[in-house]
Structure 1
């Protein structure tokens, strides 16, 4: 097991805790220095629901520039270090033993998406119509510095239980540490039955997940620390590969392109079918574009009807994209062999990431716009903002799209990336992990072979593409925050989008 320590700022300073810090801790207050601790065990299925691409992480062991580590900024810069320690694995036991009640599981009904798996394209209704959850507290920013020593009588800043350390920037217990990590990784959205007014303690922490997550953020827990774990691991892999590459370069010369074997016949056939499937789905969307609510001509920002029309326009485009993705997934060999529950689990979490992939391939850097279907459906950042999206979500979309555009991927590479993304065994609620990984493997192998043939001199392209899948996990988390913001704006999503994005009335 590894303990990852993430410090805000460029690097942590050494030294024992100051007298000021010790005084604050004796008084039960959180310390001034900001440090976040989290554990990672490679064999734990749940903790594998981080920013990863399953068991293919080892394929990314190659030289990457700092800008390849993450496409999407998440607030403050984080410098992280790791150290080997012996850690108790009783995180879950701690919470179950100290909690007065059993966990209240919260899962949504898969009916809407289940119906979509079997509906005709013409059955999709473009009828957007909101909910207003309580606003989430802003995290407390603290100064950087080393973590103070524990005195043994500290309490969790979230629920009041006995604290075990400083986790994600906050003095907290094992239970709240794990709850915050799981919530961030899954992009979880909870609903409070008491309108967000629950007082958080050891009893209520198991009763109301929304208020518990809100209290975590108000106490100062930082999502950046959770998301940075993948970046730390990739940087370590980069360093390891740099050392191996340095040793091997002195021993042998690189093989010429002529030595690269061609695609296997089954791989060539697979790629051709994937590209044809995508073209067919895009063709249906092109025909259905006439059903989409027109983009209003009025520029009046105060006109409520105009704002609603813009929002309807984008949600209807999103529904068309969802239907494209469902159609594409149903045609992938092996997808229908999965149980209905696993099909739904894969689609619910991969859909937004595939939509963002499709958005990136339509990015035009010359005019900094994204064009769907025809030039009439072209949008810049201002257009997205007029439809109700936040700049905190718009900017990462365009940054990711620009990064993808710089790779100059072709139709085959996009299609293979989408298939790999769909068959990600680390998605929440997936039951048959082995089968999903088995179905994903041919697409990973085909992409690797295809890139070696198309770009024989670019040994970084394959890991860079897989890194984009990691970046999509980050964007997916940002999207979850955007969905909350839309509900605060009194904007109601259509049923299909609500089901896929876990928006519960």
Structure 2
């Protein structure tokens, strides 16, 4: 007698536990197909048989017991078992129906993607600068411009760069070295003037002021050098008119072990495309570094630095809302400056071994004992 299975109610298929078997052949079931729990093999076999109206014949007069072995040997009995298990022909989709179903699914997915693109996501809460931060940034930029303007007025006092290409001429070498050291002196004076105008700097003891300036000056000079880098001609321009490539630095007596890192750092900074406010904030953060040698009041220096760090973070979030890594990248540049500062110390020592004597101001700021 044929057993008529109880039909499953319509609705979502119940969750499988992982140990179900096919109602037709006893293989591991893969889901509910055509109203019955079955495996992929029996599902495909039943569908092909229905669509093709297949006629099979059994060599055993339709008495084969169906299992994973016999399902491949007797298709007539397998089809009979499919029907007995409860597979319904009206549940099988035709080729055209399947094609239309796939097409509909593709259209729905495309619509969903289009909607995701067309529908803007709610913007995150915008960062804002409070009035004090805005005023601080404007003052920093104005202070830098004023310091730079004073240096520009002193430009005629700088020893001219010699036109002679004679690398062996001692006088020519000394002129080039004097040209560079005088530019360095102007840069140091700019930095000192800028630091004295920073809110809180004059609150520090004279000893801490000197300790901060001695160690930060060369790093700020390198920051200022990087903002004057021209990637088109791979050169650095000072006071708008003086441009120098690596060879010019070498002619002035600097070593390529120091020159190459300067240009590499400058290229990296140029890639960040910082504006005047970001440079000014970085310089202020660099000056108020509590971990400098010989600094006594670390807590005060840290408190003075924090407003500049907060202002830079907020400024970057406003200017570059989609670049969440810009702030840590900029701070990492300050770490790179520590390495460059060590290379600079080696360069200063090398100059002492040559016939290069630094001017008193540079000797004092860089702790060179003649």
TM score, norm. by length of structure 1? 0.49
- Separation (CA, whole Å) in 1 of partners of 2:308 and 2:148: 21
1:390 aligned residue? 255
1:472: Cα distance to partner?
0.1
- Separation (CA, whole Å) in 1 of partners of 2:190 and 2:366: 16
Alignment of 1:93-492 (within 5 A): 257=123, 259-375=125-241, 377-492=242-357
- Separation (CA, whole Å) in 1 of partners of 2:128 and 2:280: 19
1:412–1:256: structure 2 CA closer, same or farther, 3 Å change rule? farther
1:256: Cα distance to partner?
5.5
Aligned length, in residue pairs: 250
2:361 aligned residue? 496
- Separation (CA, whole Å) in 2 of partners of 1:450 and 1:261: 8
- Separation (CA, whole Å) in 1 of partners of 2:314 and 2:286: 18
**1:244-285 alpha-carbon deviations (Å, 9 max, x no partner):** xxxxxxxxxxx9555123111100000000000000001001
- Separation (CA, whole Å) in 2 of partners of 1:437 and 1:499: 26
**1:106-163 alpha-carbon deviations (Å, 9 max, x no partner):** xxxxxxxxxxxxxxxxxxxxxxxxxxxxxxxxxxxxxxxxxxxxxxxxxxxxxxxxxx
- Separation (CA, whole Å) in 1 of partners of 2:128 and 2:306: 18
Q: CA RMSD in A?
A: 0.9
TM score, norm. by length of structure 2? 0.67
Contact map agreement 1:396 1:475 (CA 8 A) in 2: yes
1:335–1:391: structure 2 CA closer, same or farther, 3 Å change rule? same
Q: Structure 2 unaligned runs (5+)?
A: 1-120
Q: Structure 1 unaligned runs (5+)?
A: 1-254
1:188 aligned residue? none
- Separation (CA, whole Å) in 2 of partners of 1:365 and 1:277: 27
1:490: Cα distance to partner?
1.6
- Separation (CA, whole Å) in 2 of partners of 1:466 and 1:374: 28
- Separation (CA, whole Å) in 1 of partners of 2:156 and 2:297: 40
Contact map agreement 1:257 1:456 (CA 8 A) in 2: no
Give secondary structure in 2 for the equivalent of 1:370.
strand
Deviating beyond 2 angstroms after TM superposition, the runs of 4 or more aligned structure 1 residues are 255-258
Which is higher, the Rg of structure 1 or of structure 2? Answer: 2
**1:70-103 alpha-carbon deviations (Å, 9 max, x no partner):** xxxxxxxxxxxxxxxxxxxxxxxxxxxxxxxxxx
**1:173-193 alpha-carbon deviations (Å, 9 max, x no partner):** xxxxxxxxxxxxxxxxxxxxx
Please identify which structure carries the higher helix content. Answer: 2
- Separation (CA, whole Å) in 2 of partners of 1:357 and 1:261: 27
Give secondary structure in 2 for the equivalent of 1:378.
strand
